[in-house]
Amino acid sequence: MSGPALLLALVQVLVAVAFAPLVVGVTRQTRARLEGRAGPGVLQPWRDLRKLLAKTPLRAAGTSVVTVAAPLVLLVSSLLLAALVPSVGAVPVALVPGDLFVVVSVLLLGTVAIALLGLDAGSAFGGMGSSRHMTIAALVEPTVLVSVYALSIPVGSSALPLIVAARRDHPAGIISPAGVLAVVALGIVVLAETGRLPIDNPSTHLELTMIHEAMVLEQSGRDLAWVDLASWLRLSVLLGLVGNLLLPWGVAATVGAGPLLLGTLALAGKLALLAALLATAEVGMAKLRLFRVPELLAGSFVLAFLAVTASYLVA
């Protein structure tokens, strides 16, 4: 791998690891303030990670190597996602496969890993959560493909750095019908992919409603730390992608100290804004009934399909 490619990937991974717990902290703190509570503080996720990393994991009897390997596979896939998705810089660098289909495959790898993790312990809750998780994933992944494909039609490439760079250099595409429909559809599936309201409630432990929490009930210690960090990374990276598609300014166009620093600061502002907006929306939003979730995701797929149609009509 060339020097610029390695530098860009390394910077994006380090920035994602640094920002991911803060994004969750901002979301929780904003929600607490809006609900009239003091809240644990923005840095609480970092303190939780430090506490969990110092503990030896306890694993249920009868579990296989899946319980040991799945948290690490989920974490590695999330780190790889951070390296591939243009968050700090939208620079098409050789040997860095920022192609849409590669990114979706990496997302699916983490999805399968956490589903197997929920099944391996053999608990009823874990199997229920994994079943619900894969049902949602089957509806989410096609929408991600179609929505980003709609954005790729005017660019003529499915490489995410080229798509973000095109929106940065040609702002008219941001308010085009195809661009608006595609980003709205992508925003809905990001909520589903990261287990946020109204699809899932990340703060609940009620067995009738939980999805993500059901799959990690048997995890503890370092295993739980890896799972939590990986989930936070996915939320941070996908929110960063939506932020760069909506507000592509500040994204580095070259691999250099100045542009990368500017891209990092711009990403921090976008993530803080989106995290606060996400928490604000969740305060006034109820979780959907499980059987209503496919209707919402089907609607997002229709929006993505309409975006593709509009892209071809405009082109």
pLDDT in tens, the chain (315 residues): 567 778 898 999 999 999 999 999 999 999 999 999 999 999 999 999 999 999 999 998 889 999 999 999 999 999 999 999 999 998 876 655 678 888 999 999 999 999 999 999 888 889 989 999 999 999 999 999 999 999 999 998 889 999 999 999 988 888 899 999 999 999 999 999 898 888 988 877 666 667 888 899 899 999 999 999 999 999 999 999 999 999 999 999 998 899 999 999 999 999 999 999 999 999 988 888 888 999 999 999 999 999 999 998 875
What DSSP state is assigned to residue 171?
Answer: G
User: Which residues constitute the domain of residue 147?
Assistant: 3-314
> In 3-state terms, what secondary structure has residue 155?
helix
Tell me the three-class secondary structure of 20-51, residue by residue. HHHHHHHHHHHHHHHCCCCCCCCCHHHHHHHH
**Burial of 83: CB neighbours in 10 Å, binned 0-12, 13-18, 19+:** buried
- How many domains does the chain divide into? 1
- Are the C-beta atoms of 118 and 216 separated by less than 8 Å? yes
Residue owning tokens 């989106």: 274
In single-letter form, the type of residue at position 62 comes to G
